[in-house]
C-alpha cells in the first residue's frame, strides 16, 4: 500500500462549428503576430488538431473507431497511434467545457461518441485484468479499434478512471440541467460508477504515473482521484444513486495528499520502485494544480489550488529546475518565463521541454489570477514570498486588497510572467501551428518526438480559456476541506458491472451545410509518385488534377498499410464521381482502373465524414 509505507517512514476555444456557416480552412500561424493574435489563430489550429485525431472521421485517424481519440497520428519513433484513458479524459474535459459554454452541437455528437466508446473500453479485458474486480480499468492504453494492447507497458495506471469520471460527471450535470435526467442516470452514471468504485478501491495501491516510467505514488494521480470522488458523491445523489465508497475514501485521499509536500515543494513521486533518485520537482504537480482547479475553492493550501502559497512556491521550484539545463533557457533571468520539461532528470528523447508542460506553467498562473480577483485580495506568506519576489522584487509578506496599488502591481507582474510561458511556446511552434510532444532543448528549439500530440493541443486550449477568464464549473472543493485527525491506509472494495446503454436521446442539433470529407486511399507507390483525388465536381478539378484535385498525404504510409489521406470541404448532399490518381515524377497523370467511384456527402449534423478504398 502506498499510504501505509509512507506513514512508516473553456473557454477561449473558437466555436468554429457553433453555427452552420461551414468549416473554415485551418489557418496558418503568423509567428510575428502579437501574442493575442497568435493565440486566437493557434486556438483554431489546436481545435482542428484534436478533431483530426478523433475517430472515425478525423483526417489523421484512419483505423480508429468512432469516439476513439488517438494520442498522436505518429506510428513510428515513437508509435503513439493508440488511445490512452488519461489523454482522452484530459482532452475531452476541455471539449465538454467548451460544449457547455457554447452549446456547440457538433461537439456534443463527438462527446456522445466518446462516452459510448468508453462504455465498451471498460469491458475490454487485458493485461491489467478485467471488469469483474475492476482491475482492468487500470489498463492505460488500447489499440485504436478499442481492443486490448498486450505489448510491454507501464501498467496499471490509476489516473485514467478518475479523469474519465470527471469528464462524464461534467457532461452528466449538463444533461440534468437540461432535462435529460434519464440519459444522465441510465447512460452516464453506470460508466461513472465503475470508475468511482475503482478509484475508491485502488487509490492506495502503487501504479505508474502519468509519464509511464516509474511505479509508486503520484501526486497527480492522487489529486485527480480525490477530485473524482468528491464530485462523484454529489453526482450520484443527483441521479438518485449513492457512492458510499466515495464518501469513505475521499477524506483519506485528501489526507494522503498532504504527504507529498516537503515544506518547500511537492515531491511528485514517492515510494518509487526502484527509486531513480530524483528531486521530485516534476511538472506532474503543476498539471495537478491545473486539473483540480476549482474557481470556488480560493487559495486552499491543503487542496493545492493554483493560487495557494504551496503551489506558487512549487511552481517556482519546478520551473527553476529547468533554467540551467536547457541551452534555450540560457541567459533568461529569474522572474522571466522559461521552457519547461517534465523533470530535470528526464532522458526520454534526450529530455527536452514539452509544449504541454510549458503551457501548464502559464495556465496555473492564469487560474491563480482568477482566484485572486474573485477573492478580492492577495496574500503573500513566507511560503510563497520567494515566488513573488522573483517576479516583483519589492514584494513583501501581507494581504493586499484588490483596491490597493500593490495588488495591481503584483497581479500585473504575474500576468506578464504567465504570458512569457505562452511566448516561449509561440517561439518554438512551427508556422503551421502543429504542436508535437516536445521541442529541442538546444538553441534550434524545433519540434521533436510525436507529431500533432492531441494532449498538446488540448493544453493550449485550456491555457487560452484560463487566460481569458473562462473557468470550468466548481467540482465541490470548497465543501471538501476537512482532514481526518489521523490518516489511515484504507480502501473500499467495489462492485462492477458493464454499462450497456448507449442509446442517446435525439438531441436537437444544427444540420451541417458543409462537411469535411476525408479520402483514405490504400495505394502502393514508389519514390517520386504522389496520389491525388480527381472527380466530377469543380472542387475535385472536374477530372483535371491540375485544376483542383486533392493531393493526399503519405505521412502514415507503411508497407503493410500504404495509406494516402487528405480532406476537402464539400456541401452536404453533393453527389459526385471520383478516382484516385498517380501523379508521376515526370508529370504523367495515371488514373486508377475500374469504374468511377461514387459518393454523396452525408446530410446530417456531423461536419466530418470519411471514405476509403484500395487502388483499382
- Whole-angstrom distance, CA of residue 17 vs CA of residue 162: 29
Query: 75-104 burial, b for 16+ CB within 10 Å, e for fewer?
Result: beeeebbbbbbbbbbbbbbbbbbbbbbbeb
- Whole-angstrom distance, CA of residue 588 vs CA of residue 471: 55
84 is in an annotated binding site: no
Active site residue 612: no
Given the residues 212, 213, 320, 553, the one annotated as active site: 212
- Whole-angstrom distance, CA of residue 349 vs CA of residue 335: 28
- In this structure, the number of other CB atoms found within 10 A of the CB of residue 150 comes to 9
Query: 7-29 burial, b for 16+ CB within 10 Å, e for fewer?
Result: eeebbbbbbbbbebebbeebeeb
Helix (H) or strand (E) holding 92: helix 85-102
Quote the cell numbers at residue 395.
514584494
CB-CB contact of 44 with 103 (8 Å): no
CB-CB contact of 605 with 106 (8 Å): yes
- Whole-angstrom distance, CA of residue 540 vs CA of residue 547: 8
| Residues paired with residue 534 on neighbouring β-strands, in sequence order | 579
- Whole-angstrom distance, CA of residue 528 vs CA of residue 539: 25
Nearest to 284 by CA among 191, 221, 233, 204: 221
Query: 246-280 burial, b for 16+ CB within 10 Å, e for fewer?
Result: bbebbbbbbbbbebbbeeebbbbbbbbeeeeebeb
Strands (E), 69-171: 83-84, 141-142
Given the residues 59, 113, 159, 209, the one annotated as active site: 209
- In this structure, the number of other CB atoms found within 10 A of the CB of residue 518 comes to 23
Phi, psi of 132 (to 5 degrees): -55, -40
Active site residue 209: yes
First and final CA of the chain: distance in angstroms? 59
CB-CB contact of 224 with 164 (8 Å): no
- Whole-angstrom distance, CA of residue 431 vs CA of residue 585: 27
Annotated binding-site residues read 153
Q: Which residues are known to be catalytic?
A: 209, 212
Annotated binding-site residues for substrate read 153
Amino acid at each position: 500500500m502506498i499510504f501505509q509505507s509512507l506513514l512508516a517512514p473553456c473557454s477561449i476555444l473558437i466555436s468554429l462549428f457553433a453555427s452552420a456557416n461551414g468549416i473554415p480552412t485551418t489557418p496558418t500561424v503568423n509567428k510575428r503576430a502579437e501574442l493575442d493574435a497568435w493565440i486566437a489563430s493557434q486556438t483554431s489550429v489546436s481545435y482542428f488538431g484534436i478533431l483530426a485525431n478523433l475517430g472515425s472521421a478525423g483526417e489523421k485517424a484512419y483505423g480508429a473507431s468512432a469516439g476513439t481519440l488517438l494520442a498522436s497520428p505518429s506510428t513510428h519513433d515513437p508509435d503513439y497511434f493508440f488511445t490512452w484513458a488519461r489523454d482522452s479524459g484530459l482532452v475531452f474535459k476541455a471539449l465538454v467545457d467548451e460544449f457547455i459554454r457554447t452549446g456547440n452541437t457538433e461537439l456534443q455528437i463527438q462527446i456522445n461518441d466518446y462516452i459510448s466508446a468508453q462504455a465498451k473500453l471498460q469491458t475490454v479485458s487485458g493485461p491489467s485484468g478485467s471488469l469483474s474486480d475492476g482491475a482492468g480499468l487500470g489498463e492505460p492504453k488500447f489499440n485504436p479499434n478499442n481492443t486490448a494492447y498486450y505489448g510491454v507497458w507501464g501498467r496499471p495506471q490509476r489516473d485514467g478512471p478518475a479523469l474519465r469520471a470527471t469528464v462524464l460527471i461534467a457532461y452528466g450535470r449538463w444533461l440534468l440541467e437540461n432535462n435529460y435526467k434519464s440519459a444522465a442516470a441510465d447512460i452516464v452514471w453506470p460508466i461513472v460508477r465503475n470508475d468511482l468504485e475503482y478509484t475508491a478501491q485502488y487509490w492506495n495501491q502503487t501504479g505508474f504515473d502519468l509519464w509511464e516510467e516509474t511505479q509508486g505514488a503520484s501526486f497527480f494521480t492522487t489529486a485527480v482521484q480525490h477530485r473524482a470522488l468528491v464530485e462523484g458523491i454529489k453526482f450520484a445523489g443527483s441521479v438518485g444513486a449513492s457512492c458510499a465508497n466515495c464518501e469513505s475514501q475521499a477524506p483519506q485521499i485528501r489526507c494522503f495528499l498532504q504527504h507529498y509536500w516537503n515544506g518547500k515543494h511537492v515531491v511528485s513521486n514517492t515510494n518509487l520502485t526502484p527509486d531513480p533518485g530524483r528531486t521530485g520537482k516534476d511538472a506532474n504537480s503543476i498539471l495537478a494544480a491545473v486539473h483540480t482547479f476549482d474557481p470556488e475553492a480560493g487559495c486552499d493550501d491543503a487542496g493545492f489550488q493554483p493560487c495557494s502559497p504551496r503551489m506558487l512556491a512549487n511552481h517556482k521550484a519546478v520551473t527553476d529546475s529547468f533554467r540551467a539545463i536547457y541551452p534555450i533557457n540560457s541567459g533568461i533571468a529569474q522572474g522571466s518565463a522559461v521552457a519547461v520539461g517534465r523533470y530535470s532528470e528526464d532522458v526520454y528523447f534526450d529530455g527536452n521541454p514539452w509544449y504541454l508542460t510549458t503551457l501548464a506553467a502559464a495556465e496555473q498562473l492564469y487560474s491563480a489570477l482568477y482566484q485572486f480577483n474573485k477573492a478580492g485580495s492577495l496574500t503573500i506568506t513566507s511560503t510563497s514570498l520567494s515566488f513573488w519576489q522573483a517576479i516583483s522584487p519589492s514584494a513583501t509578506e501581507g494581504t493586499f486588497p484588490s483596491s490597493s496599488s500593490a495588488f495591481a502591481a503584483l497581479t500585473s507582474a504575474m500576468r506578464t510572467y504567465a504570458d512569457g510561458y505562452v511566448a516561449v511556446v509561440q517561439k518554438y511552434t512551427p508556422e503551421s501551428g502543429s504542436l508535437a510532444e516536445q521541442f529541442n532543448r538546444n538553441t534550434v528549439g524545433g519540434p521533436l518526438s510525436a507529431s500533432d500530440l492531441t494532449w498538446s493541443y488540448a493544453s493550449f486550449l485550456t491555457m487560452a480559456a484560463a487566460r481569458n477568464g473562462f473557468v470550468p464549473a466548481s467540482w465541490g472543493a470548497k465543501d471538501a476541506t476537512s482532514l481526518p485527525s489521523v490518516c489511515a491506509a484504507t480502501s473500499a472494495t467495489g462492485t462492477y458491472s458493464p454499462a450497456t446503454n448507449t442509446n442517446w436521446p435525439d438531441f436537437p442539433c444544427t444540420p451541417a451545410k458543409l462537411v469535411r470529407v476525408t479520402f483514405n486511399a490504400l495505394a502502393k507507390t514508389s519514390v517520386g509518385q504522389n496520389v491525388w483525388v480527381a472527380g466530377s465536381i469543380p472542387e475535385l478539378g472536374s477530372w483535371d488534377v491540375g485544376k483542383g484535385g486533392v493531393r493526399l498525404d503519405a505521412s502514415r504510409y507503411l508497407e503493410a498499410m500504404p495509406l494516402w489521406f487528405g480532406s476537402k470541404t464539400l456541401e452536404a448532399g453533393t453527389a459526385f464521381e471520383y478516382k484516385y490518381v498517380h501523379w508521376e515524377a515526370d508529370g504523367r497523370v495515371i488514373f486508377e482502373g475500374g469504374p468511377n467511384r461514387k459518393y454523396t456527402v452525408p446530410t446530417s449534423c456531423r461536419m466530418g465524414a470519411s471514405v476509403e478504398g484500395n487502388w483499382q
